[in-house]
Structure 1
Amino acid sequence: MTTAQQRLHHALDALGRTARPGPAVDGCGHCYTDEQLAVLSGPPDLIPDRLLHSVAAKNPDHWDDFPTLYRRLAPRVLRQLTTGTLHIDSPLIASRLVAADWTSWHRAELVRDVLDAWWPVALADPGASAADVLETLAVATGTVTPWLTAWSETRTPTSERHLIRTIDDWLYFNRLPDLRLGFYGELPVGPEVAAWIATLPPRLLDEERRHWLDTVYRT
């Protein structure tokens, strides 16, 4: 296990220790049975994955007290999200965290620790989607700046391959200069991302990519 993975592991464990049964969960009776609502009211670790994943993705209006429910489920949701076992679009989880106002939670710094620890792990993983992780982190925290800065400072072959692949995706699909991140496209970052790309070392962007980028911004 690498140092970055150890840091993420410790952050997840610290957040996991905050998980507790909570008040009775009241929610949409069309989508969830009384038995499922009772399970959701109990220890979070005993909630079956299928039910957990359903709740993690549902709109907040399915619940009488969505922030309280999501705060209780967040340790398990974030553990599965950051370890690749939550089969839900990760930017959607970011939108749900924002809807649950996670920054106001008691011990919100533990959630932030998990998010901070996840990024270097993703950048070191050849099989990760750095673009999806970036999108999730940026939306959850309301800013893309620190994540782009950390990406620039992570000078490893794997991180740089992620970077080039992501920029190519943004350019190829004409997502610049109107780039918006998030499951709902709720975070506009086009100008900021363009300014960041302009600061990257020339070795990361060949002449063709720079010409492509210049063309995009002239149109």
Structure 2
Amino acid sequence: MTTAQQRLHHALDALGRTARPGPAVDGCGHCYAPEELALLSGPPDLIPDRLLHSVAAKSPDHWVDFPTLYRRLAPRLLRQLTTRTLAVDGPLIAARLVSADWTSWHRAELVRDVLDAWWPATLADPTANAAEVLETVAVVTGTATPWLTTWAGTRTPTAEHHLTRTVDDWLHLARLPDLRLGFYGELPVGPEVAAWIADLPPHLLDADQRYWLHTLYQA
């Protein structure tokens, strides 16, 4: 286990220690049977994955008190999300966390600790989808700037490979300068990302990427 992975493991454990049973969950009786609502009211670790993943994706209007429910489920959801065992896209989880007003939660800093640990662990993992993780953490926090800064400053072969591959996608698929991140495209970052790419060290961009960037700015 790398240092980055260890930091993520410790952050997840700290958040996990906040998980508790909560008040009775009241929600959509069409989508969830009484026994499922009872499970959601009990210990989060005992909720079956199928039910957990369903709740993770449902819109807030399915629940009488969505923020309280999502706060209780967040430790387990973030553990599965960061270990790639959650059958729900990260950007959708990000949208739900924002809807649940996660920054107002008691011990919200523990959620931020997980995000802060997840990003360097992603940049160190050659099998990770760095673009999707960036999209997730940027939407959760409302900004891409600190995550992009960390990425540009992480001078390892794995981080640089993730970077050049993602930049290639953004440039060649003509997603700039109108790039929007998020499951609903709710976070506009096109100008910010374009300026960030332009400031990258030259060795991180190949000739084709420099051409596309030049074309973008000329346009």
Instruction: Output the TM-score relative to the length of structure 2.
Output: 0.99
Q: Which residue of 1 aligns with 2:87?
A: 87
1:35-184 alignment, distance < 5 Å: 35-184=35-184
Q: Which residue of 1 aligns with 2:197?
A: 197
Aligned equivalents of 1:162, 1:88: Cα separation in 2: 22
Aligned equivalents of 1:87, 1:26: Cα separation in 2: 24
Mapped contact 2:176–2:190 kept (Cα < 8 A): yes
Mapped contact 2:15–2:75 kept (Cα < 8 A): yes
Range with bigger deviation, 209-218 or 99-108: 209-218
Identity of aligned residues (%): 81
Q: How many residues in Structure 1 have an aligned counterpart in Structure 2?
A: 219
Aligned equivalents of 2:28, 2:185: Cα separation in 1: 27
| Secondary structure of the structure 1 residue equivalent to 2:25 | coil
Aligned partner of 1:154: which letter? T
Instruction: Output the TM-score relative to the length of structure 1.
Output: 0.99
| Secondary structure of the structure 1 residue equivalent to 2:196 | helix
Aligned equivalents of 2:206, 2:50: Cα separation in 1: 45
Aligned partner of 1:161: which letter? H
1:207 is displaced (CA, Å) by: 2.5
Say what the alpha-carbon RMSD is for the aligned residues: 0.7
1:162 is displaced (CA, Å) by: 0.3
Residues 100-154 of structure 1, C-alpha deviations (whole Å, 9 max, x = no match): 0000000000000000000011111111100000000000000000000000111
1:20 is displaced (CA, Å) by: 0.3
Aligned equivalents of 1:125, 1:167: Cα separation in 2: 18
Mapped contact 2:67–2:101 kept (Cα < 8 A): yes
